């Protein structure tokens, strides 16, 4: 995928850009380089997709020197030409607060509401620290109903500035990460987590290694960091069931 037009800076702390690509679609592009934002997005999206959670289509996006030259922001930040991480824009969508305030009443439900507890599973697996924000969840009208999509994994793995040491230390954390209230309300007991939890537990070491191994080398991840990332994911996969069970007080509708 090649970027053909820079539309501008996207909202958010990481300075992603909205870029039109040669497939005619628009992507939110997170740049590799000074932080691990692109790494986190690449791995978080790939693993969410692998366990059946709804995420935007992802693609590596080639950002040329000419495209960088056309943007004062990219020039100022000395973004390097090459491949960066893109997530397809979700058109005509609402964030979770907007949807709750204007649509989630009476018989209006999410067509894939079972994905909400699944998002909590994933966030506690990779330690996404900002999923309580409404704009990290989108709801899109589809075929007379509404479909949920989770997005933005920049703050997984404790955030975009993790090191091998900090990731190793975080591997053993057992406190639940924050969840948006509407997502927490979807949990009614351990059975809510079961479908996604089983898929995470069934994901083999080789599949995790393949995801991490596919991170472009040009992004500068060291061998030690790659090995630590794999170990983190494998260790937390084994801890996840007990972490979720110990946090039942965080879910108002938990029964039993």
Assigned domain for 255 exists: no
Question: Quick one: 137 and 181 in the same domain?
Answer: yes
**pLDDT on residue 34:** 83
Per-residue pLDDT at 27 = 95
Report pLDDT for 108. Answer: 58
Number of folded domains in the chain?
2
Residue 162 within a domain: yes
Bridge partners of 84, per DSSP, are 61
Assess whether 70 and 122 both reside in one domain. Answer: no
Q: Are residues 166 and 99 in the same domain?
A: yes
For 89, other C-beta atoms within 10 Å of its C-beta total 19
Contact yes or no for 219/30 (Cβ under 8 A): no
Q: What domain range includes position 200?
A: 94-250
CATH number at residue 174: 1.10.1070.20
191 lies in some domain? yes
What's the CATH code of the domain at 13?
A: 3.30.200
Q: For residue 24, count other CB atoms closer than 10 A to its CB.
A: 7
Residue where a domain stops, chosen among 38, 55, 88: 88
- What pLDDT, on a 0 to 100 scale, did the predictor assign at position 8? 84
Q: What is the DSSP string of 57-114?
A: -EEEEEE-HHHHHT-HHHHHTTPPSEEEEEEE--TT-EEHHHHHHHT-STT--BTTTT
Of the residues 65, 88, 111, the one at which a domain ends: 88
Query: What is the pLDDT, as a whole number, of residue 173?
Result: 92
Question: Which tokens sit at 7?
Answer: 């539309």
Show the low-confidence residues of the chain (pLDDT under 50): 106-107
């Amino acid at each position: 995928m090649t970027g053909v037009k820079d539309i501008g800076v996207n909202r958010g702390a990481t300075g992603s850009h909205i870029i039109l690509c040669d497939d005619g679609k628009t992507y939110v592009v997170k740049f590799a380089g000074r932080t691990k934002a692109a790494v986190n997005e690449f791995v978080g999206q790939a693993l969410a997709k692998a366990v059946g959670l709804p995420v935007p289509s992802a693609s590596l996006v080639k950002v040329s020197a000419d495209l960088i030259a056309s943007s004062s922001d990219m020039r100022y930040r000395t973004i390097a030409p090459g491949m960066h991480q893109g997530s397809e824009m979700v058109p005509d969508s609402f964030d979770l607060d907007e949807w709750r305030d204007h649509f989630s009443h009476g018989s209006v439900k999410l067509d894939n509401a079972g994905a909400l507890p699944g998002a909590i599973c994933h966030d506690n697996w990779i330690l996404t620290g900002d999923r309580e924000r409404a704009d990290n969840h989108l709801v899109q009208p589809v075929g007379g109903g509404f479909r949920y999509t989770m997005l933005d994994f920049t703050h997984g793995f404790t955030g975009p500035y993790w090191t091998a040491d900090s990731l190793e230390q975080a591997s053993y954390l057992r406190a639940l990460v924050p969840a948006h209230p509407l997502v927490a309300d979807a949990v009614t007991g351990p059975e809510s987590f079961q479908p996604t939890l089983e898929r995470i537990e069934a994901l083999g070491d080789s599949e995790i290694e393949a995801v991490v191994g596919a991170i472009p080398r040009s992004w500068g991840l060291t061998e030690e960091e790659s090995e630590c990332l794999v170990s983190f994911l494998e260790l937390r996969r084994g801890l996840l069931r007990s972490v979720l069970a110990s946090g039942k007080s965080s879910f108002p509708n938990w029964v039993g």
